[in-house]
Chains A and B, each alone.
Chain A
Amino acid sequence: MKGVRHYPGFLALTILCLAVLYAPLIVVAIYSFNASTSITSWGGFSLRWYGEVFTGREAARFGQAAWNSITIALIASTVATVIATAAALAMVRGGAFRGRQASFALINLPLMVPEIVIAVATLIFFSAIGLTMGYLTILLAHITFCIPFAYLPIAARLEGIEATYEQAARDLYATRAQAFRLILLPLMMPGIVSGWLLAFIISLDDFIITNFVKGAGMETLPTAIFGSVKQGIKPNIMALSTLMLLVSVLFVTAAYLINRKGRQTP
């Protein structure tokens, strides 16, 4: 059989897709090192915009936003990972229970529902129960939509672990708790870590939902960048975006590597 590469136009289409996807990112990354104030003409290499991010006029605003983003991402991804781990154990090891299919759909629903719908619904819900929009509402929303992202790698990992390991542990006089702590948890760890990393990045990068539930005066990095861009794109935004891109790439790569390493030694 012919490989997909032999179809006419395959190469052109591939290049086009990659260009559309990545050209803007590359342009932003390159221009973040631009010495000139212009965002369209190259004025030589410089790190001034990176300096601007940390010391410039907006530095304090960005600093506070970064602090919010990072603490929210840390807490939300950790809580989401704990919930996702429990959910994966119930789904994969819980045997057949009533509502199993429904539970699965429920866990993964946030992946399929348009984000704007979740954003509006969450806002209405928080208002209805009388929560003031702010740090807490962002955190709660982030925990919720991070769960499916943490769940997927954890459940995939757990499905690959044969039940005989736990049975062997139980057979060798381990209690249920010991079998979980000493055998299943270590074996699940690569999935848990990559689920956590993924959830962290998703939380760090989220804009739409955050923007709806953040309330006045509360900013995360994405909303702060958006607010700043509304007054015109300045190169310091490119520098900031490039830094965020770097963090994302590092985290996603780490998640991938951990998952792959885990798979080599099941």
Chain B
Amino acid sequence: MTDAVDLRGVVKRYGTVTALHGVTLSIADNEFFTLLGPSGCGKTTLLRLIAGFEDISEGEIRLFGHDIARLEPNQRPVNTVFQNYALFPHMSVLDNVAFGLKMKGVDPAARRARAGRMLEMVHLSAFAERLPAQLSGGQQQRVALARALAPEPKVLLLDEPLSALDLKLRQAMRVELKQLQEETGITFIFVTHDQEEALTMSDRIAVMSAGRVQQIGTAREIYEAPVNRFVADFIGETNLLEVEVASVSDGRATVILPGGARITCPSSSMTGGRHHLSIRPERLTISDRAELMANVERVVYLGTDLQVIAHLDGGQPITLRLQNAARTSLPEPGQRIGLHLEEGGARLLAD
């Protein structure tokens, strides 16, 4: 089966600035694909290249096997939900939603009917005759979604569509977006810098940094098997410890922490020398079967969780997260604790 979107070695330069350094990725049909990365990493640039608002400097863009690099935006079966929505301020909500159909030459009765159905789908039928300025931010966001979906694009591009909404609405919209994607069967490419959003909605995620794709994978793969320091650090919380790799055998490495403690962890192809070890805070428990010893510095109460900030014997800070169960006895600052590392809780990283 051909991929919905296929990017090969896409480079984008603005004058002397290179926004994208050779991005290669494939997005399957019907996939909810997320571009995740910090501000300025090139997420919007990538979307704009797919939509056709910018020309690529090098590389190839294919849509269902067709080279679209030279096509104008109106010739690409791709629609965009803009970050600021960009609803036409002088048109009613219904006319906004019907605009794409009108441009495609759908007759007035049919496009009104379809626009009406789209508004129903986003629960805004009652607002059809209003102007965009008379809607709340959340309602505008849904109009933008209905407008982009109405012409039945093959791929929908969404540029941080939830970032302007408050937390509750954002969480509700996540569920709605995901449902919408499943119902329509349209490929979604979703841009966000919010990792929680990415982890909860996506089939696959591309983590980007400084114009490069760092890792592509499911939420689980990216969280549990980050390929490098950037991904480990960017996705979720982690403890990054500098370690010495003592030996590698059968895909497992034995590493030595600065304090002298030894632990073993899965390792793909790491040779000896200094590397970074990532340990997720929730994979550590306080236990007598301890691989590591630490001194508690501070305990932070987070409601469902407790965050314990401690120092390893080697001097490095380490954070652990404990579930706030009733039986948990709180560690005291200054207390010496043993830390047990769950199997698979540590990962050796490439830099």
Binding site for B on A (CB under 8 A): 162, 164-165, 167-175, 178, 183, 186-187, 265-266
By the criterion CB–CB under 8 Å, are B88 and A265 in contact? no
CA distance A137 to B80 in the complex (A): 52
Distance in angstroms from A244 CB to nearest chain B CB is 35
CB closest chain-A residue, reference B98 = A172
What are the interface flags for B64-105 relative to A under an 8 Å C-beta threshold, 1 for contact and 0 otherwise?
A: 000000001110001110101011111000000001100110
By the criterion CB–CB under 8 Å, are B90 and A168 in contact? no
Contact residue among B86, B103, B148 (Cβ-Cβ distance under 8 Å from A162): B86
Contact residue among A170, A178, A183 (Cβ-Cβ distance under 8 Å from B73): A170
| B82 partner residues in chain A, CB cutoff 8 A | 164, 167-168
CA distance A183 to B99 in the complex (A): 11
| A173 partner residues in chain B, CB cutoff 8 A | 74, 100, 103-104, 151
By the criterion CB–CB under 8 Å, are A168 and B103 in contact? no
What are the interface flags for B195-234 relative to A under an 8 Å C-beta threshold, 1 for contact and 0 otherwise?
A: 0000000000000000000000000000000000000000
Distance in angstroms from B203 CB to nearest chain A CB is 24
By the criterion CB–CB under 8 Å, are B73 and A171 in contact? yes
CA distance A173 to B78 in the complex (A): 9
By the criterion CB–CB under 8 Å, are A186 and B79 in contact? no
Q: Could you list 16 further interchain pairs (A-B, Cβ under 8 angstroms) beyond the known A162-B86, A170-B53, A186-B90?
A: A165-B89, A167-B53, A167-B80, A168-B87, A169-B99, A170-B72, A171-B79, A171-B148, A172-B147, A172-B148, A172-B151, A173-B100, A173-B103, A178-B103, A265-B90, A265-B133
CA distance A164 to B131 in the complex (A): 18
Interface centre among B51, B82, B104 (most CB of A within 10 A): B82
| B148 partner residues in chain A, CB cutoff 8 A | 171-172
Distance in angstroms from B102 CB to nearest chain A CB is 9
By the criterion CB–CB under 8 Å, are A265 and B74 in contact? no
CA distance A174 to B79 in the complex (A): 12
CA distance A165 to B89 in the complex (A): 9
Interface centre among B84, B86, B87, B147 (most CB of A within 10 A): B86
Distance in angstroms from B96 CB to nearest chain A CB is 9
By the criterion CB–CB under 8 Å, are A172 and B133 in contact? no
| B104 partner residues in chain A, CB cutoff 8 A | 173
Interface size of B by Cβ–Cβ distance < 8 Å?
Answer: 25
Contact residue among B52, B80, B151 (Cβ-Cβ distance under 8 Å from A168): B80
By the criterion CB–CB under 8 Å, are A164 and B133 in contact? no
Report if A172-B79 is in contact (Cβ < 8 Å); known contacts: A167-B53, A167-B73, A265-B131. yes
By the criterion CB–CB under 8 Å, are B86 and A175 in contact? no
Binding site for A on B (CB under 8 A): 51-53, 72-74, 78-80, 82, 84, 86-90, 99-100, 103-104, 131, 133, 147-148, 151
| B89 partner residues in chain A, CB cutoff 8 A | 165, 187, 265-266
26 A-B pairs in the complex with CB atoms less than 8 angstroms apart: A167-B73, A167-B80, A168-B88, A169-B103, A170-B52, A170-B53, A170-B73, A171-B52, A171-B78, A171-B148, A172-B74, A172-B99, A172-B103, A172-B147, A172-B148, A173-B74, A173-B103, A173-B104, A173-B151, A174-B74, A174-B99, A186-B90, A187-B89, A187-B90, A265-B90, A266-B89
By the criterion CB–CB under 8 Å, are B74 and A164 in contact? no
CA distance A95 to B99 in the complex (A): 27
CB closest chain-A residue, reference B131 = A265
Contact residue among A170, A175, A178, A183 (Cβ-Cβ distance under 8 Å from B88): A183
CA distance A230 to B78 in the complex (A): 71
| A170 partner residues in chain B, CB cutoff 8 A | 52-53, 72-74
Distance in angstroms from A167 CB to nearest chain B CB is 5
| A169 partner residues in chain B, CB cutoff 8 A | 88, 99, 103
| B53 partner residues in chain A, CB cutoff 8 A | 167, 170-171
Contact residue among B78, B88, B131, B147 (Cβ-Cβ distance under 8 Å from A165): B88
| A183 partner residues in chain B, CB cutoff 8 A | 88
CB closest chain-A residue, reference B79 = A171
Q: Which 6 A-B pairs have the closest CB atoms?
A: A172-B100, A173-B103, A164-B86, A168-B86, A170-B73, A173-B74
Distance in angstroms from B111 CB to nearest chain A CB is 12
CA distance A171 to B131 in the complex (A): 21
Distance in angstroms from B29 CB to nearest chain A CB is 20
Contact residue among B86, B87, B99, B131 (Cβ-Cβ distance under 8 Å from A167): B86
By the criterion CB–CB under 8 Å, are B103 and A174 in contact? yes
CA distance A261 to B1 in the complex (A): 54
| B78 partner residues in chain A, CB cutoff 8 A | 171
Contact residue among A162, A165, A171, A186 (Cβ-Cβ distance under 8 Å from B74): A171
Interface centre among A173, A174, A183 (most CB of B within 10 A): A173
| B103 partner residues in chain A, CB cutoff 8 A | 169, 172-174, 178
By the criterion CB–CB under 8 Å, are B84 and A164 in contact? yes
CA distance A56 to B49 in the complex (A): 71
